[in-house]
A and B are shown apart, each in its own frame.
Chain A
């Protein structure tokens, strides 16, 4: 059944990870009688195992809930689920553009978190109606009055007016639904104009091709309609047009304000990108919906199979992941130390973690990942430019940085970071940010206990372990959000690590000159612990260009012999040697130095300071 636009309410829930977004969504499904209690399973809307286990939502989904309001009128509520993490802020903003309102869900014990605030700002910028809701009011640690004050100080308005619920028990949820009906504006759109529908998510399905989630703005979508994606130019007839309520249900049409999904034999998500506009192929709209942006990878890492025989499998796995995730990139590269692999680009750290975990979980390929880094803009010295070489190089693999004498300047990406912290840890947070070359922009006390700090930080300084450090120096209370700002000049150098005089490309890193010594020392002493003793002394050096900045030596092994072969048990001795020899075969050789894979993994995964 099609609803008149004035009876439609499209909304999203903004919440920090663990603040109960999925639980509230579950409760809404029950409250609107869409899901019977006995059919309920936790986090009904999160489809992927990974999401369910991590308790976070990676892919936005939309669910349609017919709802009879207290005044007896029938409404159609469309809940659009948004990803909760900074890495996916663009996807969040698109999902919000499919709504007219948001429920701001805040844990009454934890209070506001940086990511929630960042998403809240996105909602406010998009002109959405914001309905603040306190969750977990049944918890003993809940402090609803204080958190309500925090929210009011950010949003304005009366703290008394803020709804309080326990998504777990369902207390207060009916009031939330009523307020959505009451406050969220009905969508507006022109049913007669050429079709325009916003793609706010697309998910790969092996059988039906890409499932494209859309919010119709103008005109109509119908099965069989020849539609075109305005950015990618792909066009095809709609095979399946459906809504999720809460299981997929085919529909005859979707009109202005409605939310659903379509399939059109789309082979990969790249062709139906988040933010693109679906229009009618034969009667296209003049302009796409505003705001489309290419996803830009910000964080890079080399992924190498532990066993070089797995290289083709890794390529297949990355291809398959990319079908489902257009925002991650990869291209083949070779490392002297690690062999053949791929330089992969990710939106951010969580995105990188998710991809690695999926590779591990779904494809079972043991990997070595190089330390994450960012993309640098390298301006070559004019006198040093080689024929057919660009004056500006983009470097996402530290090993590819040109020699120091060829470089005029290097620019690095910087981000605007927002950190929310209890006021007692402000000192620790500032100390950390300053150690990471941060530039304090602003500091606001949201309440007496909570401070919002804004820093401009080099992205390279936060990709490694910043978040862990932030958490550990604030007992887990601080939260972080960041968004790319621009590129800035920095005094950066490449630190190489040499084993027995030979550079090991996988260990090269681009760091600020002031930190080069510290980085070099750290890497060299860590490697001294990790590299097994060899038959000869192995010098380990850190160098900037030809200048050695740190040195350690792995002393030659002096004893490697089984003392006794007792009782004539030669079999045992032979098997031990065979096993050791097999272990040796699996080592990576750098020149004459043999390094176990585990040493690479350990050296690359431990933090740099």
Chain B
């Protein structure tokens, strides 16, 4: 069996740190979050994450992927650290900074590693960000979601649109090199004009990276329950398709290039971290519910925060489950992740694919099949999942 072409150097290795705390749960969100935790449990959680990191780092790659030949050579250099949530900025700046420093202490990070922290607009000011920059922060990802008041209200966000802009300004003042804004489109109350205004404001803010996600109905969320009961409208697929085109058009015109289905960036500002996921790289995930992938083995941590803390406290591995991927599954995953990228995937990494369907998709103008790479066209991107289902053997 040949291994899929995975050039670890190209795909890279990354660290993901999950911070589950949120001030309140947004009605549409089904992420692993914990609301209302006080300072003391938060501090214990931060300590648990540092402990888990230390242990994983000390055990080395042989412990997480025993069958991998490279494991004997120790950890490769990590190109990215991403602290996501939840809301990492619920932690005091000092705790978060300590966490960033700790990663660098226990694992080999590249000198120019991308160090991202997700932030809520209302949590960050100049002093907070200065502390993080001092600890190595290179990228701030702000959950702006929208710049239109009634859309923010619908999304249950606690900030007004001005707050997100001030957060971007603070990041600039604190000399954070890169700033991303997360946006959500297609809320039932949002109009075409609302979305256009949000895009224009985001561009004007000076952020060099934008993630624009279609609002998705998740079953076990307040919004999902309302939709199920008929108390709230579900987003309309056609409207969302229109919004996606609108984003494409406005952002390209403003000089932000799309490089993934939901992501746009200025030259050199693509998220290295997300590219690791999409290119089939390796990553260590630490914290409650975090997922990891290392050389064909996936595992995931205990989701409930308090139990996670407990397990780490007792010195037990906080792992809730794992999965060893066979070659065919790795190829399927490469296809389903890689095809989301504008650059597409090397055929050699994903073959065999359903060739008849591939030819049909090329004829239909949804896929390109050139230079040994498969990629979605602009028309194919909104239909990515359907195309991927067809291409899978």
- Please give the residue numbers on chain A whose beta carbons come within 8 Å of chain B beta carbons, in ascending order: 535-536, 557-571, 573-574, 577-578, 580-581, 584
Q: Once bound together, how far apart are the Cα atoms of A288 and B77, in whole Å?
A: 98
Partner of B385, one of A561, A568, A570: A561
Interface CB pairs A-B, < 8 A, 25 = A557-B237, A557-B383, A558-B238, A559-B238, A559-B240, A559-B382, A560-B386, A561-B214, A561-B381, A561-B384, A561-B385, A563-B213, A563-B214, A564-B213, A565-B337, A566-B31, A568-B277, A568-B291, A569-B291, A570-B333, A570-B336, A570-B337, A574-B329, A574-B336, A584-B389
Interface flag for B298 (CB, 8 Å): yes
Taking CB atoms, residues of chain A closer than 8 Å to B298 are 570-571
Q: Find out whether the CB atom of A560 lies under 8 angstroms from the CB atom of B382.
A: yes
Taking CB atoms, residues of chain B closer than 8 Å to A559 are 214, 237-238, 240-241, 244, 382-383
- Please give the residue numbers on chain B whose beta carbons come within 8 Å of chain A beta carbons, in ascending order: 16, 18, 31-32, 84, 213-216, 237-238, 240-241, 244, 261-262, 277, 283, 285, 289-293, 298, 300, 323, 329, 332-333, 336-337, 340, 364, 366, 381-386, 388-389, 392
Partner of A571, one of B84, B237, B323: B323
Say whether, besides A558-B241, A567-B285, A581 and B262 are in contact (CB < 8 Å).
no
CB distance from A561 to the nearest CB of B (A): 4
Taking CB atoms, residues of chain B closer than 8 Å to A581 are 389, 392
Taking CB atoms, residues of chain A closer than 8 Å to B237 are 557-560
CB distance from A61 to the nearest CB of B (A): 50
Say whether, besides A558-B238, A577-B389, A568 and B289 are in contact (CB < 8 Å).
no
Taking CB atoms, residues of chain A closer than 8 Å to B336 are 570, 573-574, 577
Q: Once bound together, how far apart are the Cα atoms of A581 and B386, in whole Å?
A: 9
CB distance from A555 to the nearest CB of B (A): 8
Q: Once bound together, how far apart are the Cα atoms of A557 and B364, in whole Å?
A: 13
Q: Find out whether the CB atom of A536 lies under 8 angstroms from the CB atom of B291.
A: no
Taking CB atoms, residues of chain A closer than 8 Å to B293 are 568, 570
Q: Find out whether the CB atom of B277 lies under 8 angstroms from the CB atom of A570.
A: yes
Q: Find out whether the CB atom of A567 lies under 8 angstroms from the CB atom of B389.
A: no
Q: Find out whether the CB atom of B382 lies under 8 angstroms from the CB atom of A561.
A: yes
- The prevalent SS among residues of B at the interface is mixed
Partner of B333, one of A536, A567, A574: A574
7 A-B pairs with least C-beta separation: A558-B241, A563-B213, A559-B241, A561-B384, A568-B291, A560-B386, A563-B214
Taking CB atoms, residues of chain A closer than 8 Å to B381 are 561
Q: Once bound together, how far apart are the Cα atoms of A535 and B361, in whole Å?
A: 10
Taking CB atoms, residues of chain B closer than 8 Å to A560 are 237, 382-386
**Besides A561-B384, A565-B337, 14 other A-B contacts (C-beta < 8 A):** A558-B382, A559-B238, A559-B241, A560-B384, A561-B385, A565-B277, A566-B84, A568-B283, A568-B293, A570-B333, A571-B291, A574-B329, A577-B385, A581-B389
Specify the chain B residue showing the minimal Cβ separation from A581.
B389
Q: Find out whether the CB atom of A568 lies under 8 angstroms from the CB atom of B285.
A: yes
CB distance from B204 to the nearest CB of A (A): 24
Specify the chain B residue showing the minimal Cβ separation from A580.
B389
Taking CB atoms, residues of chain B closer than 8 Å to A558 are 237-238, 241, 382-383
CB distance from B311 to the nearest CB of A (A): 18
Taking CB atoms, residues of chain A closer than 8 Å to B244 are 559
Q: Once bound together, how far apart are the Cα atoms of A569 and B332, in whole Å?
A: 15
Specify the chain B residue showing the minimal Cβ separation from A564.
B213
CB distance from B213 to the nearest CB of A (A): 4
CB distance from A130 to the nearest CB of B (A): 56
Q: Once bound together, how far apart are the Cα atoms of A42 and B336, in whole Å?
A: 61
Q: Once bound together, how far apart are the Cα atoms of A577 and B289, in whole Å?
A: 22
CB distance from B224 to the nearest CB of A (A): 14
Q: Once bound together, how far apart are the Cα atoms of A574 and B385, in whole Å?
A: 10
CB distance from A186 to the nearest CB of B (A): 69
Q: Once bound together, how far apart are the Cα atoms of A310 and B43, in whole Å?
A: 60
Partner of A564, one of B216, B241, B366, B382: B216
Specify the chain B residue showing the minimal Cβ separation from A572.
B291
Q: Once bound together, how far apart are the Cα atoms of A560 and B240, in whole Å?
A: 10
Q: Once bound together, how far apart are the Cα atoms of A563 and B381, in whole Å?
A: 11
Q: Once bound together, how far apart are the Cα atoms of A562 and B337, in whole Å?
A: 11
Taking CB atoms, residues of chain A closer than 8 Å to B388 are 577
Say whether, besides A567-B16, A567-B32, A562 and B332 are in contact (CB < 8 Å).
no
CB distance from B18 to the nearest CB of A (A): 7
Q: Once bound together, how far apart are the Cα atoms of A559 and B47, in whole Å?
A: 43
Q: Once bound together, how far apart are the Cα atoms of A557 and B389, in whole Å?
A: 15
Taking CB atoms, residues of chain B closer than 8 Å to A557 are 237, 383, 386
CB distance from A427 to the nearest CB of B (A): 37
Q: Once bound together, how far apart are the Cα atoms of A571 and B364, in whole Å?
A: 29
Taking CB atoms, residues of chain B closer than 8 Å to A584 are 389
Specify the chain B residue showing the minimal Cβ separation from A560.
B386
Q: Which of A559, A566, A581 is packed against the most chain B CB atoms within 10 Å?
A: A559
Partner of B290, one of A565, A567, A580: A567
Q: Once bound together, how far apart are the Cα atoms of A569 and B382, in whole Å?
A: 21
CB distance from A25 to the nearest CB of B (A): 49
Say whether, besides A558-B238, A574-B333, A568 and B389 are in contact (CB < 8 Å).
no
Taking CB atoms, residues of chain A closer than 8 Å to B285 are 567-568
Q: Find out whether the CB atom of A567 lies under 8 angstroms from the CB atom of B18.
A: yes
Q: Once bound together, how far apart are the Cα atoms of A560 and B389, in whole Å?
A: 11
Q: Once bound together, how far apart are the Cα atoms of A571 and B277, in whole Å?
A: 12
